[in-house]
Structure 1
Amino acid sequence: MENPNTKIMNTKPHAILVAYPLQGHINPSVQLAIKLASKGFSLTFINTQSIHHHITSSNPVNDPNHFFFGPTNGSNLDIEYMTVSDGLPIDYDRSLNHEHWFGAMMHTYPAHVEVAVREIVKSRPSTCCVIADATSTWASKVANKFGLYYVSFWTEAALVLNIYSHVDLLRENGHIAPGTRKDEIDYIPGVTSLKTTDLMSYFQDEDMTSIVHQCIFEAIKDARQSDFILGNTVQELEPHATLVVQAQIPFYPIGPLFPHGLDKGSTAMSLWAKQDCTQWLDTKPHGSVLYVSFGSYAHISKEELEEIANGIKLSGVNFIWVIRPDMVSSDDPDPLPIEFRNEVQDRGIIVTWTNQIAVLSHPAVGGFLTHCGWNSTLESIWHEVPLLCFPLLSDQFTNRKLIVDDWKVGYNLCEETPVKKEEISHKIKLLICESSGTKFKERINKIKKLLESAITSDGSSEKNFDSFVNDLKIGTKKKLCFSLDS
């Protein structure tokens, strides 16, 4: 008679992957799930009901229960999909009330996730781990409660993780609140030097006691208690920061995690309906178009947006500008200056959302005015588009340092605040002009080759991913054997 314990040990390992409910975190989480499934895992992918509702409302979906992982993403993927509440009504405006939302994510959402994990573990005895975004505050506790490994998914640069890991050092030296030092930071291991303006926005705030800060610091603490950390970066891209992090915790750089080489949008993952800009781009000269997008979450003041609009108008360049309905506020769906749309209609289009990869890969695009989100940074490098940096929130200020100071593949939009239309116009023309474009593209091509090399069969990211899978499977067998013997 077959031993049931042997059957459990021979079953395909099962992972629970919990995506953080923001667009910039969902996209790489979906790619991670697909990659894990291709390596022989079965998965349950957990999304929030609110995000599911927004995506299915904005995209034509044949099967809303499997829309992330349908046939367009490859056959035979063993991925189940489920949703849980984040503790707020589906139609509640999280953008307008983001502190309430952070509170729910910290205090209510974890209970819903825990109930889901309990049900999954009961029905899937081969469950070995919870994979949760590193912004989660609950993951280590839930994983430990059910005897599972906790795999933290870091969706930002290794440099950012390294800085977060040295928060106590920054406090001791007075470079973050309640300190007031503004001189260069030269004592963080793996970092030659930083300006205080290169720190993440949460470290630049005078008040670091808000619910948002509580969430961030609790999440970093929780991530450092994980058994493994997967990073959406490339070790050759950030060699010094990667080595410092790996000396402290089991960190596996496995990026870049985006659908390189796939079609222009087969997967329904967008919170807003996408407008196809391809036909318009086809009419424009090579390298003549500025793509402008400030991401899926961060807000901008009406004054800044108006100044940027006037700078774009003054520059005279062709452009595509993504303006979300809540970019300034949900209460101000069209914050552009009066008459701006009419004045630039001959050389620009303004859309609520578009397929960023399709735009960046088009030969007419010569520059990207960006908030410096990590996904946007990697995608722009992949498609060899130089960047014009206007960070707004979180890690974007640190990413700007990498782009402008370390890799030298872009400019700061404005050196001083508040932003001024004259400097904006000058920087746009500088980015798009032939000489600067060529200079940047020579450098950006070298960095792209690092990304390309990393994801080959012999590349560092692929080897790191295989090492993680092997280490997890070995650890799971040991843990399961111990559990069965006891």
Structure 2
Amino acid sequence: MMNQSTHQKPHAILFPYPLQGHVIPFVNLAIKLASNGFTITFINTQSIHQQISKAGRSNVIDNENNDLFSCACKSGLDIRDVSIYDGFPVDYDRSLNHDKFFEAIMNDFVFHVDEVVGKLMLSNPSPNILIGDTFYVWSSTIAKKYSLVNVSYWTEPALVFSVYYHMDLLKQNGHYDCIENKREDIIDYIPGVKAIKPTDLPSYLQSDDTNMVVNRIIKRAFKEVQIVDFIICNTVHELEPEIITALQKYLSIYSIGPIFSPGFTNTSVSTSLWSESNCTDWLDTKPNGSVLYVSFGSYAHTNKETIVEIARGLVISEVNFIWILRPDIVSSEETDYLPIGYEESIKDRGLIVPWCCQTAVISHPAVGGFLTHCGWNSIMESIWCSVPFICFPLLTDQFTNRKLVVDDWKIGINLCDEGSISRDEVAEKVKFLMKGKEAEEIKQRIKKIKKELEDGLALNGSSQVNFSKFMDDLESKISKKNVLDVEFENQKLNHIAK
């Protein structure tokens, strides 16, 4: 816990990126910091705030003022809920207009941030720490203007951070941003990173169009991250030791994860963008380990043909399953993507819902496998519950996360080995994971990986030790800033007096 005798109580502004996969670890970090004596101002965009408020359970969200943290505050935590205009109407379809939206987030959002932070500086206690998502490109501008300690929060694995951080190295060696004679051989020159295939890079680094808005955001963000005060990473050191050690040679980076909500399945703060279906009653009717959980996360899209092949494959497999199908999984404009009469045909063997509390489902004893897009939150949560994977990455870091799960840790299998997906291959992989004798080895390995997470989060574990070190270094940085600010103010007063 940070020493409360410091000049000023720590007050951190937390700015998650406006996607659910980023909001979740930021909420968990807010609770962890507030539990250690911090005042927290948590800032969602108005759109994200309204979606969560609309979807939230009545016992979690204060419906009178839409305070997402009302229950946490009742337990004594000082977390202040603030929303910010992102430049678009609340009902604007940000998914359908992805490029336009994120172009504005990159270039124009900083002006709204500046306005909100300026007002927050008048609060008591005034903020002295900015914790922004690494993908934001404006943190140093805002931190410098308001004399805030600048902390970058990386919500994905250290491997993905390192690959992005060394984009220039990839370019120099012809593996990125090189249309002519682009190399397709193994990448073995990134410090701390074992050999990695170009097809295991994040999707944006595999693209020939390096001028896409997301590529430009990544490029600017990873120039920005070189000048922040601290970087905290939602991973555990034991899973990525060589990578983290290599990064620590030139960055103040701390692996403090995985940061879960205190109750894991019963968080006091809602983070869901959709109303959650209760799957527990259905799961209670199924034998232990017999249900495959299928979900492709909160953001990535796929096509109708893929959905149909997975649907048919699940039928052929004869395995029980829960399938989370967001209304916009194909696109915001197409919601009719399942075969006609499909839900009736699966009857008691399958349950399809638009959204659920994922931690409640994968921690249920009936669940024995997870067909996943390989989002980092999903991977950490599933390891914690000892649930092995069938991997089907769709976008961004998911391809690199898949490499960790299948190739490095060997706690999952690929859904399709090459080319387009087929129902027969889906059925084969599902039966292998859920019923095959060989799958027992995977289940034993994931228990060992879970033990590494548990050890990292233990009282003297690496993540807790790193968190304490981060807190001490943060306190020291705040104290130095306070001294410098006082000296600067005295200099101004002396100058005026003269």
Q: Which residue of 1 aligns with 2:38?
A: 41
Question: 1:107 & 1:64 partners in 2: Cα distance?
Answer: 34
- C-alpha deviation, 1:64, in angstroms: 5.9
Q: Which residue of 2 aligns with 1:178?
A: 178
Taking a change above 3 Å as real, the CA distance of residues 278 and 437 of structure 1, as seen in their structure-2 partners, is farther
Taking a change above 3 Å as real, the CA distance of residues 347 and 22 of structure 1, as seen in their structure-2 partners, is same
The total of aligned residue pairs comes to: 480
Do structure 1's residue 216 and structure 2's residue 233 form an aligned pair?
no
Q: How does 1:255-404 map to 2 (within 5 A)?
A: 255-259=257-261, 261-404=263-406
Q: Which residue of 2 aligns with 1:153?
A: 153
Equivalent residue of 2:292, what SS? strand
Q: Deviations over 1:303-337 (max 9, x none)?
A: 21111111112111110000111110111123112
Q: Percent identity?
A: 51
Question: 2:459 & 2:172 partners in 1: Cα distance?
Answer: 44
Q: Which residue of 1 aligns with 2:112?
A: 112
Taking a change above 3 Å as real, the CA distance of residues 266 and 345 of structure 1, as seen in their structure-2 partners, is farther
Whether the aligned pair in 2 keeps the contact of 1:67 and 1:268 (CA below 8 Å) is: no
Q: How does 1:182-201 map to 2 (within 5 A)?
A: 182-201=184-203
Do structure 1's residue 20 and structure 2's residue 11 form an aligned pair?
no
Q: Deviations over 1:167-195 (max 9, x none)?
A: 11111111122242111111111122111
Whether the aligned pair in 2 keeps the contact of 1:30 and 1:68 (CA below 8 Å) is: no
Equivalent residue of 2:300, what SS? coil
Question: 1:424 & 1:263 partners in 2: Cα distance?
Answer: 29
Question: 2:126 & 2:458 partners in 1: Cα distance?
Answer: 30
- C-alpha deviation, 1:127, in angstroms: 2.1
Which residue of 254, 273, 278 maps to 2:256?
254
- C-alpha deviation, 1:414, in angstroms: 0.5
- Which letter does structure 2 place at the counterpart of 1:149? V
Q: Which residue of 2 aligns with 1:4?
A: none
- C-alpha deviation, 1:438, in angstroms: 2.1
Taking a change above 3 Å as real, the CA distance of residues 156 and 57 of structure 1, as seen in their structure-2 partners, is same
Whether the aligned pair in 1 keeps the contact of 2:62 and 2:70 (CA below 8 Å) is: no
Q: Deviations over 1:255-281 (max 9, x none)?
A: 011225444354321100000101101
- C-alpha deviation, 1:76, in angstroms: 1.2
Equivalent residue of 1:80, what SS? strand
Equivalent residue of 1:143, what SS? helix
- C-alpha deviation, 1:72, in angstroms: 5.1
> TM-score under structure 1 normalisation?
0.95
Question: 1:336 & 1:102 partners in 2: Cα distance?
Answer: 30
- Which letter does structure 1 place at the counterpart of 2:364? H
Question: 1:286 & 1:434 partners in 2: Cα distance?
Answer: 16
Q: Deviations over 1:224-270 (max 9, x none)?
A: 22110010000111101111111121001010112254443543211
Question: 1:64 & 1:258 partners in 2: Cα distance?
Answer: 28
- Which letter does structure 2 place at the counterpart of 1:85? Y
Q: Which residue of 1 aligns with 2:426?
A: 424
Taking a change above 3 Å as real, the CA distance of residues 8 and 464 of structure 1, as seen in their structure-2 partners, is closer
Question: 1:280 & 1:72 partners in 2: Cα distance?
Answer: 30
* Structure 2 residues without counterparts, runs of 5 or longer: 489-498
Q: Which residue of 2 aligns with 1:122?
A: 122
Taking a change above 3 Å as real, the CA distance of residues 53 and 171 of structure 1, as seen in their structure-2 partners, is same
Q: Which residue of 2 aligns with 1:3?
A: none
Q: Which residue of 1 aligns with 2:236?
A: 234
Question: 1:346 & 1:335 partners in 2: Cα distance?
Answer: 21
Q: Deviations over 1:81-115 (max 9, x none)?
A: 11001111000011111111111211222211111
Question: 1:46 & 1:333 partners in 2: Cα distance?
Answer: 31
Q: Which residue of 1 aligns with 2:51?
A: 54
* Structure 1 residues without counterparts, runs of 5 or longer: 1-6
Name which of structure 1's ranges 294-303 and 8-17 shifts more when overlaid on structure 2. Answer: 8-17
Q: Which residue of 1 aligns with 2:102?
A: 102
> TM-score under structure 2 normalisation?
0.93
Equivalent residue of 2:301, what SS? coil
Q: Which residue of 2 aligns with 1:449?
A: 451
Whether the aligned pair in 2 keeps the contact of 1:254 and 1:461 (CA below 8 Å) is: yes
Question: 1:344 & 1:369 partners in 2: Cα distance?
Answer: 18
Q: Deviations over 1:1-39 (max 9, x none)?
A: xxxxxx996331211111111111001101101111111
Q: Deviations over 1:112-137 (max 9, x none)?
A: 11111111113346422110011111
Q: Deviations over 1:275-315 (max 9, x none)?
A: 01011011111111110000000111112111111111211
